[in-house]
A and B are shown apart, each in its own frame.
Chain A
Amino acid sequence: MEPILEVKNLTKNFGGLCAVSNVSMTINQGELIGLIGPNGAGKTTLFNLLTGVYEPSSGLIELNDDGQKIQLGGLKPYKITGYGISRTFQNIRLFKAMTVLENVKVAMHKNIRYGTIAAILRLPSYYSEEKWVEEKACELLKEVGLYSKRNEMATNLPYGEQRRLEIARALAIQPKILFLDEPAAGMNPQETADLTKLIHHIREKYKLTVILIEHDMSLVMNICERIYVLDYGKMIANGSPEEIKNNEFVIKAYLGEEI
């Protein structure tokens, strides 16, 4: 298996606070990776570094784009997205006053081949592209089971469906790597089970590499092939779910140690 994303000695300082320190990880093509750790361990900061929201203080992020090595560190988020890396957010960030369908259409932006002039003059390319976008977006919504709600405002969806819409939106980018930031947060066991199925399904169908942050251990241990554990910004362990369960550093980080 070939590594698709390599992170080398990544560090992020906020003033005196070292939120992510010297983290290295290798992610192979098609893997489903879990990223866990106690609250405030720096998991979301790591995601934000990988997707360009923050600029790394030091270290390398290297994407293997069909044999071509691309440095992602310091690139703008929209450029990183352009390389096929998409994400969802821990605190849902949908475009609230847009419909469900429009939310997905926005994410298809980079594949739309008409410009401002064609839009204003309504050239034929506008109509053909818009038709294609509409079909493609509807297809994705059917996949996540939100097709019947396509004309509702995103803000009016129930919580679990908003989470699913975020995933649909992330898929609309046609990503190679998908980052899911706590996809099951606040879900009941039934919704979590549905979500697990959905993650499995989209991964198979789109040949995705998935990296997810999650606190729901049943989900993580269930679906992840490999797990990285962060604590106080440092990578303290990595391995299969079985190895992680029995790792003494991980147990110490979560439960504390005997005095």
Chain B
Amino acid sequence: MRKEYLTKENIAWLLLAVGSFVICSLLMNLGIINSYYQITLYNICINIILAVSLNLVIGICGQFSLGHAGFMCIGAYAAGIITKMMPNFGGFVLGILVGFVLSAIVALIVSIPTLRLRGDYLAIATLGFAEIIRILVQNMKITNGAAGLNGIPQLTSWPLLMIGVVVSIVVVCNYTHSAPGRACISIREDEIASEAMGINTTKYKVIAFVIGALLASLAGALYACNFYVIKPSQFTFNKSIDILVMVVFGGMGSMTSSVIAAIVIGIINMVLANFSEIRMIIYGLALVAIMIFKPTGLLGQRELSFKKLFSSRKGAK
């Protein structure tokens, strides 16, 4: 093991990940998290992946995407169709990989022409593309039309879900804290200056967008193999907005806040499950309130950083 990997911070992160996994497993075994709460927990995990990956596109790279549900849809259907034919772990992995390939192709087709331009063209293009994907799925035979797929084998398990969450967060954070990630942030800050610093802006916007799409497709696969049933109506524009709300609610550009926002919103949804009519109203009010009182989101761009935590404690001594 190289010494770079075994820093105090990395060990702390590992402990946090393993700790939350063990605690949740214990609570599930003890029955404190019953099967009803468990659905919420699984939903939260999938939403964390979605929120973190969308935050890479919107918060880090500054490109507004409104079609995240479209990529989730691709991943969900790819995994659903393949695991129905091969109901085992190999089929699940194959399904995820096929979802990756398809969503990467779609992401490239949408992003290369639109991301060459400056401005909000990506928002319009992704909005349209997500709808096209949904309508295609609704009308194809292999996807069983509007009725959707039934009886998808339940291959998503709690450890797998947790691995998915950790991998997504690590991928996004590692990317952000590297030269390509810095390039993305500089594009968000000032595209003209970024280009003058020798950065191929189109390339890095496309890379961020494709990584976001791949992770969304992973979330879709985990979703499909957890809830037995997927329907085109689950991947509408509303789903994209749900994910966007998490990113904006938490704070654009901060992964910690996306995770927290996904958890908070997941719990709020569970509590308000009996009042589903007013849920959207409360969503709307919460967004308006945040935009007025804290336009940067709950946490702004702050991150939970063990590095800072350790160094501030050292300073206190």
Contact = CB atoms under 8 A, between A and B. Distances in A.
Interface of A: 51, 53, 76-78, 81-82, 86-87, 89, 93-98, 102, 105-107, 109-110, 112, 114-116, 119-122, 124, 126-127, 129-130, 133, 169, 173
By size class, the interface of chain B is 20 to 34
Nearest to B179: A112
Among A87, A119, A130, the one with the most B-chain Cβ atoms within 10 Å of its Cβ is A119
Given A109-B199, A127-B4, A129-B179, A53 B192 contact: yes
Contacts of B192: 53, 77, 89, 93
B248 to A, nearest CB: 17
Interface in B99-114: none
Closest 10 pairs (CB-CB, A-B): A119-B178, A81-B198, A95-B189, A93-B193, A77-B195, A110-B198, A107-B197, A112-B179, A106-B186, A95-B186
B1 to A, nearest CB: 12
30 contacts: A51-B196, A76-B195, A77-B195, A86-B196, A86-B197, A93-B193, A94-B190, A95-B189, A96-B190, A97-B253, A97-B301, A98-B185, A102-B182, A102-B185, A106-B194, A106-B199, A109-B182, A109-B198, A115-B180, A116-B175, A116-B180, A119-B175, A119-B181, A120-B175, A122-B4, A122-B5, A124-B2, A126-B178, A127-B4, A173-B197
Contacts of B174: 119-122
Contacts of A112: 179
B179 A87 contact: no
A82 B199 CA distance: 9
Contacts of A129: 179
Among A81, A95, A102, A124, the one with the most B-chain Cβ atoms within 10 Å of its Cβ is A95
Contacts of A81: 195-198
Nearest to B198: A81
A78 B195 contact: yes
Contacts of A115: 180
Contacts of A95: 185-186, 189-190, 193-194
